[in-house]
Structure 1
């Protein structure tokens, strides 16, 4: 009879299955994939690139520096610790789908008054265990576990994004350092030429062949060039310290590898597919966040549905220790509970609406991440194209400047022109040489940036 009374509540509970909160539909997607990149880069071949894309620059020092940063960088260590934290939280959430067992031992000694006013002492020896298990009929607990798993995967993608950013920052910093090294070497070589020109102008002034003005102008040009050397050395010093910090060390020198003149940007294959952007960690993170919020939405919606919990309690008890150890009295209780909220003032519905709004925000964030990826990739491809075009013009300008300097030097040597003409030609050539080194560095850094925005190499892992 008791079982009939207990089971009579099940049909009523099942009727509540249709009482889950209503969920507004997600917004329609406005995301469109572009048919092609706006900037077309002429590449040479489309062979696979190693997952460690920084090795494609062929500089062992660069490879060692990036690997060291990925191992020791402080921000990456924090990101990986967060991944471990969210991995553990998945286990915490999944534990809700398993049985819960508690053991309790509570010997008690009490002194009380009897009905006749005489005090007496009672000993109670008891040991009890309790096991409970919630039957996940509607999948609410499984949805919570799915949400925790997706959140952990999103955190892993966030750590991958941090690693990609650190690798790109270190590679760009090293290439900029090699560019500064090359500019310093050029400036020091130019300073030697300025010194020779100054000494020649001084000799010609001493013998009366030229005016004091030409000698002072040669001296001023020498001092102008000499002034740039401390500036470059300071920039190199600060760049080395920045790279040292990125690699998890103290400020200090950085080992050098291949010279800037021998470094070449990896070829970019023509027709890079836009599907490669799906490897970007920020897009993967946005996808996992969307999965997590959908699972949370399901769990929130199902709070109004009845929950089914089985509870078993068993134990032993006696008033004497000897009997408790040798012949205790066994006690047990088995309960099957069905619980469902009847009225909560629309609390669950409002919670569901709030999570649905978060879902819409996550959808918009995902679309924004994809659009940003398209824009960054197009910008990087466009930068490589325009920088290469600029380098061609720079080569032509340098060739013209070199020929101008040759003619000006001959005219000055033969007495047909003043030193000012040769000095102006020297400045023009030096400016073109500095521009060439800067363009070479910018093209290399643009290649690093293209690796970053594409999420790695050119082929899917």
Structure 2
């Protein structure tokens, strides 16, 4: 067999492992925005880049910034980015020649023609070189996959930062709502204390039965239990906020009250294309790119590979009159001949992972659409609910005043005043919750739109 035929034989045999046609990503994984999303979002206000500053509470702003600086989840995500950056550098290093050095030393004996024996020593410092030509792009595609994975990991870190900022803001709003509930409970308890005193005096004077007195006692105890329950919830909320900011459990400083927290401004005609700035959507997109590049690298692994190798040594020996230089240069072609279907199975696995990433990208996009719609609906509906509850509180407060006057004048029974007190307490607690829900809906909207933005961002996506 000639030398040329010997070189061609591995290439011909490698044909049994050549990849087939590349299967495209499933069409069902494509993302098409809803028709209504082609228009701008119907909200108004100036643009605010630091969205948490829009609540007008410096304590809230300080807490969010402290959480972004010290949160342990954010720091862990940053370490993951460094790990991905190292993996990308390792993949790029595979494209460069590999150079190594060695200084082997040998000891030996020489026997001359006269029968004498002499000991010799030799040192051979040298360099070795190996370089993969990457004819079919296996290493280049692997490098691109590592780069896309680095971008996906960085986007995941941004997702964590956005989630921490939003969770911190929502936790603080919830804390202020709990403070308001505690204040309502204490004010109501003070009113029930006065009502119990009056009921006891009327019972002892014989004006009312024991039933009204027992009812006043029961309502007082029912209101009293709200105070420690609210205090317990406040303590837990403070501890959760301390953990978010990377601190041990501690008391949290307070800023403005719940009713004085402003609603963050949202730009007029906010483009729906800003959704593309969501870090989780970018992460899913880059994960899909990485999976696609990995598939190409896996397919290239089924083709022959050409490598160059070289070595150069300087021989320094006591047996030689002068140093000698020895070098070699060669090439090798390696290709799969029979592997039991291992490479085919790896290609199918890479294709399945690419399809999974495509469907995950579609799911992330649809989730983004849903979250923005939910947040917008929350902003509108909780605002309407808070307005209705404000009117209910005002009416209930007036009804309680009328019922109290009638009871003290003897025109009505205690149960009438009791019902008015219960209605007012329920309305005030519901109003506090509705106000907190409305503010949290604004936080959810900013989070769903990818966080803060500037006028330049809006103008860029409009173009």
TM-score of the aligned structures, taking structure 1 as reference length: 0.89
In structure 2, the CA distance between the partners of 1:41 and 1:364, relative to structure 1 (3 Å rule), is: closer
> Alpha-carbon deviations, 1:334-357, whole Å to 9, x = none?
223333334444433332222112
Kindly indicate whether residue 95 of structure 2 is the aligned counterpart of residue 97 of structure 1.
Answer: yes
Structure 2 residue aligned with 1:451: 446
Shift of 1:21: 0.9
Per-residue deviation at 1:118?
9.4
TM-score (normalizing by structure 2): 0.89
Q: How far, CA to CA, are the matches of 2:384 and 2:189 in structure 1? A: 30
Alignment of 1:4-403 (within 5 A): 9=7, 20-22=18-20, 23-29=22-28, 30-36=30-36, 43-45=43-45, 47-50=46-49, 52-110=50-108, 121-269=119-267, 271-320=269-318, 327-403=322-398
Q: Does 1:413 align with 2:411?
A: no
CA–CA separation in structure 2 for the residues paired with 1:419 and 1:112: 123
Q: Residue 10 of structure 2 contacts residue 337 of structure 2 at CA under 8 Å; is this kept in 1?
A: no
Residues 162-203 of structure 1: CA deviation (Å, up to 9, x unaligned): 111111111111110000001111111221222222223333
Shift of 1:215: 3.1
State the shift of 1:390 in Å.
1.8
Q: Alpha carbons of 1:200 and 1:149: their partners in 2 closer, same or farther (altered >3 Å)?
A: same
Partners of 1:118 and 1:367 in 2: CA distance = 84
Is the alpha carbon distance of 1:121 and 1:381 closer, same or farther for their aligned partners in structure 2, counting shifts above 3 Å? same
Give the equivalent residue in structure 2 for 1:404: 399
Query: Structure 2: how far apart are the matches of 1:7 and 1:65?
Result: 74
| 1:430 alignment counterpart | 425
In the alignment, is the contact (CA less than 8 A) between 1:101 and 1:130 conserved in 2?
Answer: yes
> C-alpha displacement at 1:69, in angstroms?
1.4
- CA deviation vs aligned residue, 1:238-294 (integer Å, no higher than 9, x gap): 111111112111111111111111002224456543322212222111111111111
Question: Offset at 1:332?
Answer: 1.1
SS at match of 2:101: strand
**TM-superposition CA deviations, 1:221-254 (whole Å, max 9, x none):** 2222111101110110111111111211111111
Stretches of structure 1 that go unaligned for 5 or more consecutive residues are none
CA distance in 1, matches of 2:18, 2:285: 26
Distance 1:164 1:14, change over 3 A: farther
- Output the CA distance in 2 between the equivalents of 1:375 and 1:118: 94
Contact residue 41 and residue 270 of structure 2 kept, 8 A: no
Change (3 A) 1:41 1:130: closer
Q: CA deviation at 1:78?
A: 1.4
Q: 3-state SS of the aligned residue for 2:155?
A: helix
Residues 2-61 of structure 1 deviation map (CA, whole Å, 9 limit, x = unaligned): xx96899589969979974122222114532101269x986333x3221x3212212111
Partner secondary structure for residue 97 of structure 1 = coil
The Cα of 1:77 is off from its aligned counterpart by 1.5
- CA distance, structure 1, for counterparts of residue 57 and residue 218 of structure 2: 39
Q: Following TM superposition, by how much is the alpha carbon of 1:205 offset from its aligned partner in structure 2, in angstroms? A: 3.4
The 1:203–1:33 alpha-carbon spacing in structure 2 relative to 1, beyond 3 Å, is same
Cα gap change, 1:18/1:227 in structure 2, threshold over 3 Å: closer, same or farther? same
- C-alpha change, 1:204 and 1:251, in structure 2 (3 Å) is same
Q: Secondary structure at the match of 2:94?
A: helix
- Conserved? CA contact 1:17–1:306, under 8 Å: no
The residue that corresponds to 2:461 in the other structure is: none
Is the CA contact (8 Å cut-off) linking 2:54 and 2:262 kept in structure 1? no
Are the counterparts in 2 of residues 265 and 447 from structure 1 also a CA contact under 8 Å? yes
Question: Does the CA contact (< 8 Å) of 2:42 and 2:269 recur in 1?
Answer: no
Instruction: Name whichever of 224-233 and 104-113 sits farther off.
Output: 104-113
Compared CA separation, residues 111 and 253, structure 1 to 2 (3 A): farther
Deviates more, 1:53-62 or 1:233-242: 53-62
Contact 2:17–2:337, Cα closer than 8 Å, also in 1:
no
Distance 1:18 1:264 in 2: 69
- Secondary structure of the corresponding residue to residue 145 of structure 1: helix
Q: Secondary structure at the match of 1:250?
A: coil
Structure 2 residue runs of 5 or longer lacking an equivalent are 459-463
